[in-house]
């Protein structure tokens, strides 16, 4: 009993300190937005801050990729600043306050976790992540119905998501209501067949009319057809990624990072040789590229320091 009381008291002290720090941060933002505050902060709006919120979010993702926990602490603070900034702007217009944001979030967490915060017959009834996800979607659907919103299974996927991630989330939502390939070897074969089908349709669109041999309107139609077919290929590849439980956004980010790492090494090798890349033949650059791939694919303990400082360099493409 004594241990429980002491633990409760310690938690109370920790929460009070955290509350004081948060209140201080909210107060700082209010001061920056006040009449005698910062001119730049004072002129910001919800719309003007949108690119900064997006930028800070991507900086968090990059820091996570780099496994830099010290930098992550700073970048998460920058994201939190955006939340407080928007809340202060809303408070000034009388729409909501940061307290409303916190209350809404807390209420949502409790409401969507009845298996944790519910009554005795609900608590502990879900035993795995799939069950929790299914319940989460049911609760969100019920909330939309109560609010008079549309009832599509695809509701809630932001249009502003990066295209690969939006495709992934859209397919995942459709799959939750059974619109999906069979999750077995036959289903995987069907997905590969779909990818091949889309590639063939792109080849057909490319072969219809030789480039430059048609009128301007036909060129526009051909370009639109090629774009559409290429989009279908990407969408089918996202389906393949989802089937094998790979996030395509993360996969492409990793591949891009590896390309950049290798290209930097190719540039360094070219500089060491005294011949700039612009003066090299494609065969010479390809040789440097293969050397870079081999160097960056070595185990961490045998990599040069330059290779160890960048993320995911030990993963061959």
d(CA 75, CA 67): 13
d(CA 139, CA 65): 32
**Tokens coding 4:** 């429980």
- For the question of whether the overall pTM of this predicted structure is more than 0.75, the answer is no
pLDDT at res. 313: 33
CA-CA distances (angstroms) from residue 13 to 16, 25, 90, 93, 102?
5, 19, 30, 34, 20
Segments in the chain below pLDDT 50: 300-317
Number of CB atoms found within 10 A of residue 52's CB: 14
d(CA 259, CA 317): 9
Phi-psi sector, 179: left (phi>0), alpha (psi -120 to 50), beta? beta
**Tokens coding 113:** 């976790």
The residue count of the chain comes to 317
CB 150 within 8 A of CB 144: yes
**Tokens coding 50:** 């949108």
User: Which of 174, 279, 317, 296 lies closest to 235 in space, CA to CA?
Assistant: 174
**Tokens coding 128:** 């795995």
> Residue 68 carries which DSSP code?
-
Q: Per-residue DSSP letters for 88-110? A: HHHHHHTS--HHHHHHHHHHHHH
Say which residues have a Cβ less than 8 Å from residue 188's Cβ, sequence separation at least 6. Answer: 181, 243, 244
pLDDT at res. 93: 96
Q: Is the dihedral of CA 291, 296, 297, 302 positive or negative?
A: positive
User: Which of 206, 185, 201 lies closest to 234 in space, CA to CA?
Assistant: 201
pLDDT at res. 160: 87
Q: Which helix (H) or strand (E) is 58 found in, with range?
A: helix 50-65
pLDDT at res. 300: 45
Q: Please name each of the domains of the chain with its CATH number.
A: 2-111 (1.10.287.1080), 163-245 (1.10.287.1080), 249-308 (no CATH)
Question: What does the pLDDT look like over 70-96, one tens digit per residue?
Answer: 999 999 999 999 999 999 999 999 999
């Amino acid at each position: 009993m004594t241990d429980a009381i002491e633990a409760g008291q310690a938690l109370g002290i920790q929460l009070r300190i955290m509350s004081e720090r948060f209140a201080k941060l909210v107060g700082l933002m209010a001061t920056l937005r006040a009449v005698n505050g910062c001119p730049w902060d004072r002129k910001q709006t919800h719309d003007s801050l949108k690119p900064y919120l997006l930028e800070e979010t991507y900086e968090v993702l990059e820091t996570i990729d780099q496994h830099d926990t010290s930098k992550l602490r700073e970048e998460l603070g920058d994201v939190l600043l955006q939340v407080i900034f928007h809340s202060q702007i809303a408070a000034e217009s009388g729409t909501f306050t940061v307290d409303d944001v916190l209350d809404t979030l807390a209420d949502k967490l409790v409401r969507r976790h009845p298996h944790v915060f519910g009554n005795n017959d609900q608590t502990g009834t879900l035993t795995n992540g799939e069950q929790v996800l299914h319940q989460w979607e049911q609760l969100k659907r019920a909330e939309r119905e109560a609010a008079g919103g549309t009832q599509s299974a695809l509701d809630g996927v932001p249009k502003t998501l990066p295209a690969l991630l939006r495709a992934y989330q859209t397919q995942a939502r459709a799959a939750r209501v059974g619109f999906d390939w069979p999750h077995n070897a036959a289903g995987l074969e069907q997905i590969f067949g779909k990818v091949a089908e889309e590639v063939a349709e792109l080849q057909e669109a490319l072969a219809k009319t030789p480039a430059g041999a048609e009128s301007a309107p036909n060129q526009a139609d051909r370009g639109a057809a090629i774009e559409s077919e290429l989009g279908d290929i990407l969408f089918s590849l996202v389906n393949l990624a989802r089937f094998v439980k790979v996030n395509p956004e993360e996969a492409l980010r990793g591949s891009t990072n590896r390309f950049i790492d290798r290209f930097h090494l190719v540039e360094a090798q070219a500089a060491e040789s005294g011949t700039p890349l612009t003066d090299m033949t494609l065969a010479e650059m390809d040789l440097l590229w293969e050397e870079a791939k081999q160097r960056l694919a070595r185990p961490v303990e045998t990599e040069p320091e330059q290779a160890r400082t960048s993320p995911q360099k030990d993963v061959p493409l």
